Structure 1
Amino acid sequence: MNDTHTAVPWGPAAATGIGSLPGTDAREAARTALGSFEDPEHLPFLPELPARGPGADMLGRTAGMLAELYVQLEPSGWRISDRPGRDTRRARAWLGEDLDALEEFAQELGDGAGPRGLKVSVVGPWTLAAGIERRNGEAMLGDHGAVRDLAASLAEGVSAHLAQVRRRVPGATPVLQLDEPSLTAVLRGSVPTASGYRTHPAVDRAVVETTLRQLADVHDGPVIVHSCAPDVPVALLRRAGADGISLDASLLTEREDEAIGEAVEAGVTLFAGVVPATEGDGPALSDPAGSVGGVRSLWRRLGLSPGLLAESVVVTPTCGLAGASPAYARRVLAHCARAARSLADNPQ
């Protein structure tokens, strides 16, 4: 995250996915995540396949990246352990398989045909702190020192992960996405304790902002913060220097208008989740222009220039696609690309 926003490796009328895809086949997932966004204005992504089981899930995958911190799976969830055991090794093996598939498919595209940018998702420090337990079974969130150690370990692990992505797909600029679905709960003090009878106290907003910035400073490219929960703290993320904010646009209300308007005017890209992530959650995928109608309405309410719409918005699904069928996931990503094009063709 930078005070001066980073040049981005996507163009106007861009689309991307959130991160997760259905199934267990890493090669097919790489083909879908890159092949759906072959046009250079779009932003392909390194897919996640949580259906493979523990270690391929969102928390376990990122926990496997930690430097000198290890986890094991308990009945209550992921917990810090003393040494790298079976669960840590499995998480690292799944990630290695994903990177192998990504590298293979990128090479199949041929010289000069690979992606211009590549989005890589990791769980952000606050959702990780809310989701990983200390040895006593309580969330790391409840111990300020533990959170600092976790954030430092995550920063080192993310830096190594990004370096590996650069080596494997040397022509692509990595885009770091921090997944923070628990961030609002952390700020509100609504993350439950292990007993379920109390909640962890709210974390000071300045501490949250500083920790996010320190983590993202390990990356010299664009940084996006994603949450498909309600009430994303847009203003905080803008102050922290996010280059993009990714959210479920169907959850937006007019009370967020001012913060979104200020963020867009400051050069922040809005990654607008407008295409239903699972079948039956919205209209059929037959009207690309209709899918982005809410974004156009938002733009009019904010009084922003229609000419900036396609440059300031990237179209995405409302959330990850792990719960969709493989066929529907492919249709969603193709629809996102068509809906993004409609913003450029008809911004009014």
Structure 2
Amino acid sequence: MTEEQKFPWGPAAATGVGSMPGEDAREVARIVTGTLESLPFLPELPARGPGADMIGRTAGLLAELYARVEPSGWRIGDRPGRDTRRARAWLREDLDALEEFTQEFEGALKVSAVGPWSLAAAVERRNGEAMLGDTGARRDLAESLAEGLRGHLAEVRRRVPGARVVLQLDEPTLPAVLSGRVPTASGYRAHRAVDPAVAEETLRGLIAVAGDDPVVVHCCAAGVPFGLLRRAGATAVSFDFKLLTERDDEALGEAVEGGTALFAGVVGAVGAGAEELSDPAGTVGGVRSLWRRLGLSPGLLTESVTVTPACGLAGASPAYARAALTHCVRAARSLADNPE
């Protein structure tokens, strides 16, 4: 990384969030690596079923904790069963495909896992309540996730030795966790809000697992806690751009000035039609307007902003998903060509 290149993915970068449509790991890996030269990623293919979804894949990474699928979702069990084995097998298949299409690759490469708070809100204890509601269970889950991620990151580095691995922690439920809006199993009440200092400390521990490699925290909900994520050590924050409000301005400005990168989700995750992807400059027009409103230096724009879809593309058609990634690349170039 040159002195001028602040982040390993470089300026005018584009990437995806994680999930893609379809079930063919090789075909999706070929599309992702062929389209996204600056920051390709390890895709998730949830259409294959439980274990290929974001919760299932991360559950399969856990060390000495095992989860199985119940009618209500993923629940901690006593031993690794069919669902754990299936999740791990699909991850190996995805890594095999990625390795095939990254021979002699050198550069930034992104992998994703669900972060500790969204995972705790999604995975149930044996009694059917979310692990979020039990302090000890949350701690055990975070420690298990940290150990599993260490092994996963080491495996990716072994398979793609020229890569600078970028870890993305998916935290779509974090705003609800912080505001006490995660419902209990009955649905009649909600889990108590988690203290922001506790949330920050737990995230800091998971971010530390990556060592010197960068960590992106993705949150596609409204009310992204930019300040908390910056203090926890996130290199970048990934978010749905259309959900920003002026209440986010101060935290966003402080994050950028403090050296945090922004992964701006400006391309729809489910396309309405070809016209949506016909104007790369228009796609990032809101980003330019935000920059002016915050009074940030135009010179920071292309190095600080990476263009992405608003969320994962699993719900889109394969044709739209390919076009959306291509459009992200073109929109990022447009941002670099005209940062003012």
Q: Quick check: TM above 0.5?
A: yes
Is 2:30 the counterpart of 1:34? no
Aligned to 1:53: 49
Cα separation, 2, equivalents of 1:218 and 1:285: 37
Cα separation, 1, equivalents of 2:274 and 2:243: 13
Aligned to 1:306: 298
Aligned to 1:203: 194
Is 2:99 the counterpart of 1:103? yes
Cα separation, 2, equivalents of 1:282 and 1:196: 40
Cα separation, 2, equivalents of 1:7 and 1:65: 31
Q: Which residue, out of 308, 325, 330, partners 1:338?
A: 330
- How many residues in Structure 1 have an aligned counterpart in Structure 2? 335
Deviations along 1:159-191, whole A, 9 cap, x unmatched?
A: 100000000000001000000000000000010
Q: Which residue, out of 62, 70, 79, partners 2:58?
A: 62
Cα separation, 1, equivalents of 2:272 and 2:224: 25
User: Shift of the alpha carbon at 1:240?
Assistant: 0.9
The answer as to whether partners of 1:34 and 1:115 remain within 8 angstroms in 2 is no
TM score, norm. by length of structure 1: 0.95
Aligned to 1:253: 245
Cα separation, 2, equivalents of 1:8 and 1:89: 36
Aligned to 1:190: 181
Cα separation, 1, equivalents of 2:274 and 2:94: 30
User: Shift of the alpha carbon at 1:268?
Assistant: 0.3
Structure 2 counterparts to residues 206-285 of structure 1, below 5 A: 206-220=197-211, 221-280=213-272, 284-285=276-277
Aligned to 2:152: 161
Is 2:312 the counterpart of 1:320? yes
Cα separation, 2, equivalents of 1:119 and 1:237: 18
Q: Which residue, out of 54, 67, 70, partners 1:71?
A: 67
Q: 5+ residue gaps in structure 2?
A: none
The answer as to whether partners of 2:281 and 2:335 remain within 8 angstroms in 1 is yes
Superposed structure 1 runs of 4+ greater than 3 Å apart: none
The answer as to whether partners of 1:141 and 1:147 remain within 8 angstroms in 2 is yes
Cα separation, 1, equivalents of 2:36 and 2:127: 45
Question: Structure 1 counterpart of 2:8, which letter?
Answer: P
- Secondary structure of 1:335's counterpart equals helix
Cα separation, 1, equivalents of 2:27 and 2:95: 13
Deviations along 1:10-63, whole A, 9 cap, x unmatched?
A: 11101000010000000011111111112xxx2110000000000001101000
Deviations along 1:268-290, whole A, 9 cap, x unmatched?
A: 00000001111118952111000
Cα separation, 1, equivalents of 2:145 and 2:60: 10
Cα separation, 1, equivalents of 2:100 and 2:75: 34
The answer as to whether partners of 2:25 and 2:45 remain within 8 angstroms in 1 is yes
User: Shift of the alpha carbon at 1:105?
Assistant: 1.1
Work out the percentage of aligned pairs sharing the same amino acid. 74
User: Shift of the alpha carbon at 1:7?
Assistant: 5.6
Deviations along 1:209-231, whole A, 9 cap, x unmatched?
A: 00000011111200010011111
The answer as to whether partners of 1:276 and 1:282 remain within 8 angstroms in 2 is no
- Secondary structure of 2:276's counterpart equals coil
Cα separation, 2, equivalents of 1:241 and 1:7: 16
Deviations along 1:83-138, whole A, 9 cap, x unmatched?
A: 0000000000010000000011112xxx3xx1401000000000000000000000
Cα separation, 2, equivalents of 1:307 and 1:282: 32
